[in-house]
Structure 1
C-alpha cells in the first residue's frame, strides 16, 4: 500500500523573525533655533508684564538721558555753526592795548582805519570811537550818573555791513544823518531807554544835546559791545560831543583763507610806531570758547546718564534673579523633558537681552523726542547723531548681557530633581 507524501515544510516551530539591533547612540536634544529662543524668552516677559515694564523703564530713562544730552548738545552746536556761517568767522577786531613800558592804555592813530584797509585780503573795514563823559538819558531831568552803563560811540558808515548788523526798526546812519544830531540805538540800549520804535519826537539826551533816534539795531552777535551803545555819526560826534577822532575799535573783514595771515600783520599795520600797544582778536573765537564750555558741561551730563543706565541694569539683574527663583519648577520640568543646561542658559539670557532691548529702543525714541521738543522751543535744528542711537542700543544690550549672565548660569545649574522638589 502506497504512502502519501506532502511537499510542505517539516513540522515544528517557526524560525525567529530577525529584529534590527537598537541604536546604541544617545538621543540628541532638540535643537533651538533663533526663533525658538526669541519665543521662549518673550514668554517670560509676557507672564510678568508689570515687572518687565518697570525694568525696561529703568533702562529707557538712562538711555533717554544720554540721547537727550548728546542731541541737545549737537543741536546747539549745529545752531552755532549756522550762525557762524551766516555771520562769517572772518571778522577781526583791533583795539588799543596796554603799554608794556608806561602801563597806560594805548591810542590808535587817526589813520588806523585807512591803513588797515590797505591790506590786500581785507575787503571791509570800519571803526568806532568811544565818546568819553557822554552819558545817555531819556530825559534831561534824570540825575547825572544814571546812564545804565550805556556808551556813546562815534561810528563810521561802513560799520553796519562790516559787523553784519541788522535793523529792528528805522534806518542806519547815512551821509546826511551822520553830520547832524541823529543816533542809532543798540538792542540793549533801546530796551533800557524804553524805546521800541522810531518816529517823530523820539529823542535821547547825550551830553547836554538832544539826538533824534533814527534806528534801532538787533543784537549783534560778533560785536556784542554795540548792543549797549548809542551810535552817532563820526562828524556829529566831533561837532556836538567833543569827540577827539581817535578810533578805539577797528573791525576788519578779510578773505577766509587769509584770516590768520591778516591777523598777524594787523597790529603793525594799525599802529606802526607801537604795535605792542595793539590788541587783535577774533570775535568768533569767543563763540568757539562758549561751545567748548558747553561740551564740558555735556560730558558731566553724560556721566549722570551713565549712572541712570547702570541703575537700570541693576533693575534688570534683579528682575532676572527673581524670575529664576519663581520659575524653578518650570526649569526642572524642561530639564526633565531633555533641555540641556545650555538651552536653559540661553533662554534666560535671551529674556534679559529682550528686556534690555525694549528699554534701549524706548529710550532712544524718548530721548529723540525730548531733543526735538527742546530744539523746537529754541528754534534750533534737531540733530541726533546716528552713533548716539546705535551706541545707546548697543549699550543696553551689553548691560542686559552682563545683568542676565549670572541668573542664566544659576538657572542652568539647577538639577531637575532639585528644581522640582523645591515647589
Structure 2
C-alpha cells in the first residue's frame, strides 16, 4: 500500500456511479414495462436476467420450511441470535409521540406514526445476504411497520437462498417475492397483480437497482444511494499490523472501488501494515477484487501527532472507523464524522456487519458528515399537532395577522381575524 504524509485536504469522496446512458435508458424502459404489464413483465424479466422460468412470484410456506431443513442448525441459531441483538439495539431508538400544554389550554405536540408498508430489496442470484435481511427488516418491525415486503432475485432453479429465507422468517417478513433488479423496484413502487405498492424501498443492489431507486424516488421514499464500502483505521504504535491488514482487506474484498485507509502516527506501523497487506492478499479467495481496491483506493497516511490524525479522520468521514490506539475510548468525543465507530482490537468491523446489533446500512462517500445509519426513525413519520385555545389565539391574533401581511398574504391574515367577527 502507498504510504504518504498527511495532505492539507483529504477526502475519500468518489463520484457516485450514475450509470451509463444505456443503463439509465434500460432502467426507465423496465419501469415502464412493469407499470404497463405488471406480473407479466416481472416474469419475463426474471427469465431473461436470472434464467428462471417461474409460474408465480410468491415464496410459499413450504419453501420457507424447506429452507430451515436445508440450513445447518447451528447457522439457524446464529441468525436467530443476531436478530435478537439487532432488535434489542434498535428498540432503544424508539421515541414516543408527545404533547405539551400551557395554562390557556393550548396543546402542541408531535405524533409519531409508522409507515404503512416498506419494501426490502435483498441482493441474490449467486450470493446470499441474510445480514442484509436482518439489518433492513428488524428496525422496520421495531418501528411498527405492519406490512414488510421482501424481494430478491432467484437462482436459475427459481429458488432463493435458504439463509435469506430463514433470516426473513426470523425478522418477521410475511410477504416474499422471487424477483430482483430494476423490475422489482418498479413493482414495489407502483404495484402489480401480485405485489401491492409500498411507501418506502430500502436495501442494497447493483447499479440497475440503484438507478431504479433513484428513478422512483418521489413516488416512494428510499433509504439512500450507497457507494462502495469504506473503512478507515486510526492507529498508533500499540496496534498489531496483521490485525490492521486483515481489517483493511475485509472491506477491499467487497468491491474493486472499496476504500481501505489507515491513518497512523507511527511510520514503523505504516511500513509493517503495507507489507502485511501484500502478504495477506496472496491468500484471499477474492484476491483480484481486493488487490484492485487496494491499488486504486487503498492508502496509508502518516500523521505528525494524534490531533492531526483525528482531523484527517473527520475530513474523510468514513463509513466504518476503527480506533486502534491506547485508550481509544478517550478519543471518541473528538470524532465528529463516521457512520459506525469500532473501538479497540476486539471490535473488528465484521462484528458490526453481522452480530453486535447496530445497523450495518451506513452512509458512504463522505455523507457521514450529514447523515446517519439506517435506524428506526427511517421507518416512521412525524405529524405536528396544534390545538390552540381561544385565549391563546386572542392574545396572538394581531401578531399572526401582521406576520401574514408582512409576506403579502392577506387571506392568511383574514383567516385568523374571521374568528373574531362573529356577533
TM-score strictly above 0.5:
no
Rg comparison, structure with higher value = 1
Higher relative contact order (CA 8 A, sep 6+): 1
Name the TM-score, length of structure 1 as normaliser. Answer: 0.21
Name the TM-score, length of structure 2 as normaliser. Answer: 0.21
